[in-house]
Amino acid sequence: MNYRHSFHAGNAVDCAKHALLVALLLALERKPAPYFYMETHAGRGRYRLDSAPARVTDEAADGIQRLRAHRHGAPAALAAYLAAVDALNPGLAPQARAAVYPGSPALALARARPGDRALLCESQPDEARALAELAGDAAQAGDGWAALRAALPPRERRGLVLIDPPYEHAEEFRDAGRALVEALGRWPSGTLALWYPLKAGGEAAGLERRIGAASVPKTLRARFELKPDGPGLNGCGLLVANPPFRFDAEAREVLGFLVGALAPGTGRARVDWLVPERASD
């Protein structure tokens, strides 16, 4: 794999993915029992927005940097996400540029309570070393797909798995969908979140069709669209099987705010049930 998230950290779709992740973590915290958290493709976990790769693209300028300056009235989950960014940039004014950005591992570890357990997988050696420096024993170098099969079901009765491959080739959409279905077969009561990019080519639509046709529990679809279909990255989606109570409403609040802050006039938020709840559930 050649993908390096350092070039894209803190962009607009990162804001959507990570704000929704924080909403899911906040939902887990509503109950005192410990939970299990896992990522299949964790990356290095924390990123320098003033690094050479980040400066090449400066995608964070239209993402987290802009959002920090337009946070007034943000819903609770989005405010908690921004607070996590602020914690890595202490004393920084809202209009100033953040230098450090938390990836999903840093966000999850910062919210973990005593007794909660994390498993963060990364296959790229340099990224895995950086992740181990951040996460210690929670980091695991190697194939995230294999780790997912081995880890489920966890000893904890509840938890969250984030499936977030780099999508360097079209086959990864199929791999991710298959992993979600197989993981739910091993852990039918777990909450599983599958993130995917929206690009020209139809891969995202194909993924949604396959999950919609599979025998899976109720699954929410949350899409953050930056612009109409066209070349490049048009937005992102998150499929959440067994979502927490009220997560659909929270996702609408978060993505609606992000559209107004990051994609006014062109963006759109869409939250609906890809697989509705069955009457027998």
Active-site positions read 164
Buried-state track 233-266, b at ≥16 Cβ within 10 A, e below 16: bbbbbbbbbbbbeebbebbbbbbbbbbebbbeee
- Tell me which residue of 215, 168, 222 sits closest to 195, measured CA to CA: 222
Dump the DSSP string for 185-202. Answer: HH-TTSEEEEEEEEETTS
The closest of 49, 35, 60, 184 to 115, measured between CA atoms, is 35
d(CA 212, CA 27): 24
Residue 115 corresponds to which tokens in the numbers above? Answer: 């007794």
